Amino acid sequence: MAAVALPDDVAVGTFVDDAQYAVLAKALREQGSYRVLNLPGAPAETKYPPGYPALLALVWEPAQPDAVNLQRLRWVNLGLLGPLAAVLALAGMEVFRLSPTLSASLALGGVLAPLFVNLWSVPLSEPLFVLVVTFGLVLLARSRRATGLALLALAVYVRSLAAPFLVGALLATWRGGGWRAFARSAALPAALVVPWAVWLGVHRRATPDVLSGFYGSYGQWYAGALRDDWVAVLLLAPLKNTLLAAMVLGEALAGWRWLPGIVLGVLGAWAAWRLWRGRRVQPVATMGLALYFAASLLWPFPLAGRFVGAVWPLVLLALAQTLRRGSWVLAAVTVATGVIGFARSEGIARHRRAGASSDLLLERIRPLILTGAVVAVSNPPLYYLRLGVPAVPNDRMRVHRWYRHGYWATAWGLGDDLWAIIREYHPQYVVIERRGAEGRYAAGSLMRQCPGVLSEVWRSPGAEFVFAVADGVPCAPASAARTRSRVPARRGTREP
């Protein structure tokens, strides 16, 4: 019902990851390879596991234009919505020991929550991730250990953050049966995960360091952030992420941000405490969720709604299991806020705004971009699919700086980062969108330090720009790591 009722004007490709999944689906379907087609040289993909792109490739039609296929891919998640709701309801009964009616109500509330609607309304991997993980938990609850663990291992091919659920299930096996039971249980999942690990090892240098974060493995990016500022990564990131996690959990319970921030934080902290209290009733699911959030808290990227939203339906079931009589109140509130939020288009509002802005900008600059020219933009896969040109980032993911300085403006690199990309790929144009700090401060920093490298070709009243890149202009921008640059934050760039 929700899939049918979703408005058909939801923009696809503006989330960045959804456009990248589309590029990978195209590579699998049209070339039989797992490569980043939008980058010059089409290096091997090592950031996103291949499971979800392989599913998208089934509906990719080579005879259709890329822009048409991009919109076609949204139907994949809409088709998954019914099976996902059914498996969540089954998990409520089998895993969390809830009544059938309560389980179905909570499954509906979880699927309709704005944080989760934001993820299934465009081609992102979270719905398939939740479906496979939840089914694996159901099989484990039915004592089908080998099949359940195998399914959790296969979930890693959908989303890397499925690994905490697999580790949690194996730890529960160790606690219940000792090392021998653990070794017997771990053999098959390990064998299933090995091919992806080998692929990552073979192609570990497929993309240069200048693209780390946007491309390349997660481990490569984390190691670079650790070298750059280990205090921010190991100490400041977990602390700030814990506060953000409480806020987002509270927002998910409330439906949207209509309560004061401190109230949302207290509400989220209460939810986390209740979840931890339920660890003895359902140790496998609780351990998986605990390890998932631990990994998210340690990751040097602000715990935005995507991290919480990705597992929110499971969190809701686990929370209901600890509330007993209060579980019906939780179900009623979440269903009500979910239905209201869906009617108000809360979950797709961001996609609509970003889509309207991107569509207009792409049509305006299309005549300016020469055929085959390399462009540096904040959403490279979308420009490749819509304009048919090679595209690289116009910034670099330096998000760990936000934890140190508090300015979102510096979190996407500065002049030295953009200059490194220009030296590596020699783009003819740099495009600055309206989407926020991404690329804007890197371009401004480079222009201040190296006049003549970028020259304005076009600008819009909304502060969007197209710059031509001059070839051969000498430039040696200062490293932000040495200067500890602090760019004053403009409105809307201090927080993620």
Three-class DSSP category at 42: coil
The pLDDT, as a whole number, for residue 484 is 46
More confident position, 230 or 408: 230
- Give the whole-angstrom CA distance, residue 439 versus residue 397: 10
Q: Which pair of tokens denotes residue 182? A: 């653990």
Which residues have a Cβ under 8 Å from the Cβ of 491 and sit 6 or more positions away?
A: none
The pLDDT, as a whole number, for residue 123 is 97
The model's pLDDT over 33-68, given as tens digits with 9 standing for 90+, comes to: 999 999 999 999 999 999 999 999 999 999 999 999
- Give the whole-angstrom CA distance, residue 251 versus residue 238: 20
Q: Which pair of tokens denotes residue 325? A: 């009589």
The pLDDT, as a whole number, for residue 10 is 86
- Give the whole-angstrom CA distance, residue 202 versus residue 354: 37
pLDDT grade, residue 9 (50/70/90)? Answer: confident
- The answer to whether 302 and 496 have CB atoms below 8 angstroms apart is yes
The model's pLDDT over 191-201, given as tens digits with 9 standing for 90+, comes to: 999 999 999 99
| Averaged pLDDT, 336-345 | 91
How far is residue 380 CA from its own chain's centroid?
Answer: 16
- Assign 3-state DSSP to the chain and report helix, strand, coil percentages, each to 5: 65, 5, 30
The dihedral through the CA atoms of 86, 88, 89, 93 has a sign that is positive
Q: Phi and psi (nearest 5°) for 429? A: -140, 150
- Give the whole-angstrom CA distance, residue 253 versus residue 282: 21
- Give the whole-angstrom CA distance, residue 250 versus residue 264: 4
Three-class DSSP category at 472: coil
- Give the whole-angstrom CA distance, residue 322 versus residue 235: 31
More confident position, 174 or 420: 420
Q: In what order do the strands lie in the sheet with 465-469?
A: 391-393, 375-377, 429-432, 465-469, 454-459
Question: Residue 323: is its pLDDT beyond 60?
Answer: yes
| Averaged pLDDT, 365-378 | 92
Q: Tell which residue, 488, 113, 179, has the closest CA to residue 338.
A: 113
- Give the whole-angstrom CA distance, residue 69 versus residue 64: 6
Question: Residue 482: is its pLDDT beyond 60?
Answer: no
Residue 440 to residues 59, 326, 431, Cα–Cα distance (Å)? 36, 48, 9
- Give the whole-angstrom CA distance, residue 206 versus residue 182: 35
- Give the whole-angstrom CA distance, residue 88 versus residue 108: 9
The model's pLDDT over 136-187, given as tens digits with 9 standing for 90+, comes to: 999 999 999 999 999 999 999 999 999 999 999 999 888 777 888 788 889 9
Q: Share the mean pLDDT of the chain.
A: 90
Three-class DSSP category at 280: helix
| Averaged pLDDT, 425-445 | 90
Question: Residue 493: is its pLDDT beyond 60?
Answer: no
| Averaged pLDDT, 258-285 | 86
Sequence length of the chain is 496
